[in-house]
Amino acid sequence: MFTGLVLRVPYRSFPLRIPFKTAHFHTMTSTVDILNAELAQQTELFNKLRIDNSDPITLEESRKRLGEIKRELATLKPGGKDAKKRGGTRDYGPGEMFCRDYVERIVKECFMLYGGAQLDTPVFERKDILTDKYGEDSKLIFDLEDQGGEQLALRYDHTVPLARYLAMSGAINTQSKLWQIGKVYRRDNPVMSKGRMREFSQADFDISGQWDTMIPDAELLSLLCTILTRLEVGEFTIKINHRKILDGIFEVCGVPPEKIRPISSAVDKLDKLPWSDVKREMTEEKGLDPYSADKIGEYVKHKGGRQLLEQLLADSLLTANAKAKQGLDEMRILFTFLDAYKITDKVSLDMSLARGLDYYTGLIYEAIVEASAPPGFKAAENLGSVPPTDAAAPKKKVKKAGPDEDEEIDESQVGVGSIAAGGRYDELVSLFTTAASGDGKKGSGMPCVGVSIGLDRIFALLWPKWIERGMRSKEVFAYVLSAGDGLLQERMGLVQELRAQGIAADFLAKNKPKLNAQFAAGERDEVPYAIILGGNELKAGIVTVKEQRWEFVDGRKAKVESADKGIQVPRAELVQWLKATTIFRDWSSGRLIQE
């Protein structure tokens, strides 16, 4: 008969030190997960100390602790520093992947909720497919070596491959909603702790075809609000603007046609650079007249809602421009749809939003959170003549020692950036159909609008919260143990029965394991129910079910000590009993500690 023996694993709060060879119940992988969690928390603390202007001693102690964590992580990686990955890439342990899978699952559910169908495109394309589509960012495309006569490159985003796919399909699908999730690649300066990497995951949802004005655009903004709300990223704002309004402003302000895209790219940096730096780029680097730059500054400083839109519509100089007037009229329609979706309060018309990619033709938008901007940098104040010290240089670079290494960015000076972005691109498909025709005539086009969600940036935001809320790191719901003789075949049979009924179950893969070793394995996987088999109980047609609970101790998860010996459940009713529990009903939430 089961006696209720429970193996209690001692719990320690940070800073954590577990000698690898003597850690009986912690694998190297789980230790890396814990240290990665502490790294995220310590980075967040360090940034808060900087913003709050804490005393230099406290700030320096926090900085040193960051370095210690990074060095300890390096020693736990296979091969140490000799096995170092290329900059801008990283590994994710099982605990982190469980969180990432949770994020991706919610995104997919929302995509399907809004009527989307899944698409998959190759991770690499012909280089000529990707070039000349991204403006100044084209330099960030990863080239591949000549592959048997073909010049190839890794995809920069999902948008251009989608447009290529639609063009190859004949651009005849009048209306479609397509989504895709996968890795994309950019040869950018990585900021790993903020989810800004060279290899990262994006989730895209695009609506193509002929629809009435602004209806699909509003649909995508509603979709984005739904996803960010369900993911609980915190307070967020979706900044919106319109390329036609922006182009009209540039024309009214005297920007020559050939400089509109370069100037637009400069304006797009106002979310992370002060106006003085952006103006310097426009005038000194891109040759714009300073008077024109100042006129642009008067427009791009505005942000607001419907009231700002009415203010712009009342600007006779701006509305005299045909492009600007069309864009403003479309935005007025959009706001009526936002009211219908009940998301107007989540949207801000931001005249500084430009989106540097060349293919946008209409509505553009970005989703931001408090951590999006560099620490100490306030976008609302960045048009002043004397920017804050921290804002003036948000990307302090330090050259690494190795000649082949990349420049390293001071991550404490950098924000997460936007967590999602997108816009309308009505001409991109026709670029491919025109090229395919070969006769110089413009090919058939297909209006499109889409949104890209940065899964790595969202993970960087959610992972510290995931740890703080006591979320799980594995899916196993029931762990089958044996008391007394090994009962291996009986354990196998029960595990298989539970799995067939949709209950994630596991057992210790040994013939005659000790009971405490089985409990330790189940607790390590944070399994809420231990199912104990005994010879006499099996003959009587019953099993013993013991609930395992966790709690927060000093801010960390700890196993609740309990003298409870469990309850006996008829073997034939076990599946029904487990599925009737509150824990099972809430299992998809990922929560381990019940409130």
Asked whether residue 140 carries a pLDDT value surpassing 70, the answer given is yes
Measured in residues, the chain has a length of: 595
Residue 509 CB-half CA count within 13 A? 0
Cα separation, 220 vs 449, in Å, equals 8
Q: Highest-confidence range of 232-246, 353-367, 394-408, by mean pLDDT?
A: 232-246
User: What DSSP string runs through 466-492?
Assistant: HHHTTB-S----EEEEESSS--HHHHH
Mean pLDDT of 471-484: 92
- Could you give the dihedral angle defined by the CA atoms of residues 91, 93, 96 and 102, in that order, rounded to the nearest 10 degrees? 100
**Mean pLDDT for all residues in the chain:** 83
Specify the range with the lowest mean pLDDT, choosing from 50-54, 386-390, 413-417.
386-390
Q: What percent of the chain has pLDDT over 70?
A: 82
CB atoms near residue 85 (< 10 Å): 10
Could you tell me the pLDDT band of residue 420, with boundaries at 50, 70 and 90? very high
Q: Angle 547-550-554 (CA atoms, 0-180°, nearest 5)?
A: 160
pLDDT of 285-296, one tens digit each? 999 999 999 999
Asked whether residue 103 carries a pLDDT value surpassing 90, the answer given is yes
Asked whether residue 57 carries a pLDDT value surpassing 50, the answer given is yes
- 386 vs 519, more confident: 519
Mean pLDDT of 98-120: 96
Q: Highest-confidence range of 93-102, 106-115, 148-157, 389-398, by mean pLDDT?
A: 106-115
How much is the pLDDT for 530?
A: 96
pLDDT of 491-522, one tens digit each? 999 999 999 999 999 999 999 999 999 999 99
Could you tell me the pLDDT band of residue 37, with boundaries at 50, 70 and 90? confident
How much is the pLDDT for 375?
A: 57
CB atoms near residue 136 (< 10 Å): 15
Asked whether residue 27 carries a pLDDT value surpassing 50, the answer given is no
560 closest CA partner among 30, 9, 28: 9
